[in-house]
Amino acid sequence: MRSRLLLVASLTSLATAAAAVPTVADACSFPRGVRRVDTLPPDRAADVPLNAGVHVTYQTFGEPWPYEQHLTLRAAGTTAIIPAQLIREPMPWSTSVTLQPDGLLAPETTYEVLDTVPADCLQPIAECPAGAPAVIATFTTGTTIDRGAPSTGAVALDSAFEDADASGCSWGASRLVHRIAVAGARDDRPASWLRVRIYDAEGRPLTGAFSLDHLNRIDNPLAAVALGHECTGGPGGPPSYLIPVANDQVIVRAVDLAGNEDTAAPVLSAQTCSDFDADGDGHQDPPPILCDGGVGGGTDSGGGGVDGTPGGCSSARPGDGSVFAIGIALGLVMLLRRRRSGVGR
Is 163 among the domain residues?
yes
Is 17 among the domain residues?
no
Query: Which DSSP helix (H) or strand (E) runs through 12?
Result: helix 2-20
Q: Which CATH number covers residue 191? A: 2.60.40
Task: Kindly state whether residues 183 and 253 are assigned to the same domain.
Answer: yes
Query: Which of 160-174, 252-266, 309-323 is the least confident region?
Result: 309-323
Query: Could you give the 3-state DSSP secondary structure of residue 252?
Result: strand
Task: Kindly state whether residues 258 and 300 are assigned to the same domain.
Answer: no
Query: Could you give the 3-state DSSP secondary structure of residue 5?
Result: helix
Task: Kindly state whether residues 298 and 269 are assigned to the same domain.
Answer: no
Task: Kindly state whether residues 161 and 272 are assigned to the same domain.
Answer: yes
Is 183 among the domain residues?
yes
Task: Kindly state whether residues 83 and 136 are assigned to the same domain.
Answer: yes
Is 83 among the domain residues?
yes
Is 116 among the domain residues?
yes
Confidence of residue 60 (pLDDT cuts 50, 70, 90): confident
Q: Which CATH number covers residue 98? A: 2.60.40.1220
Task: Kindly state whether residues 34 and 84 are assigned to the same domain.
Answer: yes
Domain count, the chain: 3
pLDDT tens-digit readout, 14-42:
333 333 333 334 456 667 889 898 899 99
Task: Kindly state whether residues 36 and 104 are assigned to the same domain.
Answer: yes
Q: Whole domain around residue 83: which residue ranges?
A: 27-141
Is 20 among the domain residues?
no
Mean pLDDT of 126-136: 94
- Domain end among 77, 108, 141: 141
Mean pLDDT of 278-302: 63
Confidence of residue 233 (pLDDT cuts 50, 70, 90): low
148 Cβ neighbours under 8 A, 6+ residues apart: 187, 188, 260
Is 16 among the domain residues?
no
Confidence of residue 340 (pLDDT cuts 50, 70, 90): very low
Please confirm whether the linkage preceding 41 is cis (ω < 30° from 0): yes
Task: Kindly state whether residues 42 and 128 are assigned to the same domain.
Answer: yes
Task: Kindly state whether residues 134 and 227 are assigned to the same domain.
Answer: no
Contact 89, 195 (CB under 8 A): no
Residue 145 clears pLDDT 80, i.e. is over it: yes
Of 220, 225, 185, 192, residue with least CA distance to 40: 192
Query: Could you give the 3-state DSSP secondary structure of residue 196?
Result: strand
Confidence of residue 128 (pLDDT cuts 50, 70, 90): very high
Query: Which of 107-116, 158-167, 228-237, 304-313 is the least confident region?
Result: 304-313
Task: Kindly state whether residues 58 and 159 are assigned to the same domain.
Answer: no
The pLDDT assigned to 269 comes to 93
Q: Which amino acid, 56?
A: V
The pLDDT assigned to 310 comes to 47
Q: Phi and psi of 220, rounded to 5°?
A: -55, 110
- Domain end among 107, 141, 175: 141
User: What does the chain come to in residues?
Assistant: 345
Residue 261 clears pLDDT 60, i.e. is over it: yes
Residue 74 clears pLDDT 80, i.e. is over it: yes
How far from 340 is each of 160, 331, 337, CA to CA, in Å?
50, 14, 5
- Domain end among 119, 141, 163: 141
The pLDDT assigned to 334 comes to 43
227 Cβ neighbours under 8 A, 6+ residues apart: 177, 178, 179, 180, 198, 206, 242, 243, 244, 245, 250
Mean pLDDT of 287-307: 49
Is 6 among the domain residues?
no
Task: Kindly state whether residues 134 and 183 are assigned to the same domain.
Answer: no
The pLDDT assigned to 171 comes to 62
Task: Kindly state whether residues 96 and 158 are assigned to the same domain.
Answer: no
Residue 214 clears pLDDT 90, i.e. is over it: no
